[in-house]
């Protein structure tokens, strides 16, 4: 108050800006124990690095399968044998040539690898951004759209959706060779897929309720 009066009487004197309590609280030093506990988040870094290595394995597997498919189409007998062994189902008649069903099964396997790879990317990038440290990608032109609003709730929903997609691929592969499976196996896989669907719906619904509750509390 005294400095404000002096500033009015003498305009050449600078007027002090009041410091908010939030700014004062942020400048307080972090206790050593709290700092140590906060630093333990970096223990997750080796886990994400391990997932990156797993991603490399999937990339290698994808190109091996794709090269064998191309080789089988071009008439390479070793590649054809590898493809036929890969799509063969125990207890069913093994295909003897590269037909439409065999190609479809191989392509579905490649799509499965891609979807699992997408799941790994979401876990690696989203998990690191959410639980370890910010990446500061706001101005990067290649920033994924979903990363701009990622948090633990959004990550759970996206992971559940990705798992449903992977389950759909496996279920489709089973239905293509439905004659090779018994009814119990078909019903079990269908039931598991339905459980995944309801789980994702429950996660999304619970997150929606939490978001609405937070919005109501902020409005009051």
- Domain ranges in the chain are 31-219
> What integer pLDDT is reported at residue 5 of this predicted model?
45
CA–CA distance, 88 with 180 (Å, rounded to integer): 10
> What integer pLDDT is reported at residue 146 of this predicted model?
66
CB 12, CB 5: distance < 8 Å: no
Radius of gyration of the chain (CA): 28
The predicted-structure confidence for 127-137, as pLDDT tens digits, reads as follows 888 888 888 77
> What integer pLDDT is reported at residue 175 of this predicted model?
86
Residues of the chain with pLDDT under 70: 1-27, 91-92, 146-150, 220
> What integer pLDDT is reported at residue 6 of this predicted model?
45
> What integer pLDDT is reported at residue 91 of this predicted model?
65
> What integer pLDDT is reported at residue 24 of this predicted model?
47
Strand runs labelled E in 148-205: none
CA–CA distance, 62 with 54 (Å, rounded to integer): 12
> What integer pLDDT is reported at residue 65 of this predicted model?
92
Model pTM greater than 0.85?
Answer: no
CA–CA distance, 100 with 73 (Å, rounded to integer): 11
Helix then strand count (H, E) for the chain reads 9, 0
> What integer pLDDT is reported at residue 52 of this predicted model?
95
> What integer pLDDT is reported at residue 9 of this predicted model?
47
Of 149, 54, 164, 166, the closest CA to residue 110 belongs to 166
């Amino acid at each position: 108050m005294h400095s404000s009066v002096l500033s009015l009487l003498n305009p050449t004197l600078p007027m002090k800006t009041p410091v908010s309590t939030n700014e004062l609280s942020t400048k307080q030093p972090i206790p050593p124990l709290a700092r140590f506990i906060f630093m333990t988040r970096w223990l997750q870094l080796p886990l994400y690095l391990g997932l990156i290595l797993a991603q490399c394995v999937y990339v290698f597997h994808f190109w091996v399968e794709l090269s064998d498919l191309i080789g089988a189409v071009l008439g390479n007998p070793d590649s054809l044998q590898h493809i036929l062994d890969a799509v063969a189902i125990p207890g069913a008649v093994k295909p003897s040539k590269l037909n439409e069903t065999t190609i479809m099964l191989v392509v579905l396997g490649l799509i499965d690898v891609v979807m699992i790879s997408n799941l790994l990317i979401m876990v690696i990038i989203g998990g690191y951004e959410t639980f370890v440290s910010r990446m500061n990608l706001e101005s990067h032109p290649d920033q994924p759209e979903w990363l701009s609003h990622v948090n633990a709730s959004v990550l759970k929903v996206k992971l559940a959706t990705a798992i449903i997609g992977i389950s759909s691929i496996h279920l489709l592969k089973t239905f293509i060779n439905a004659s090779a499976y018994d009814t119990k196996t078909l019903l079990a896989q269908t039931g598991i897929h339905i459980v995944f669907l309801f789980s994702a719906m429950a996660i999304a619904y619970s997150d929606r309720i939490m978001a609405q509750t937070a919005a109501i509390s902020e409005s009051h």
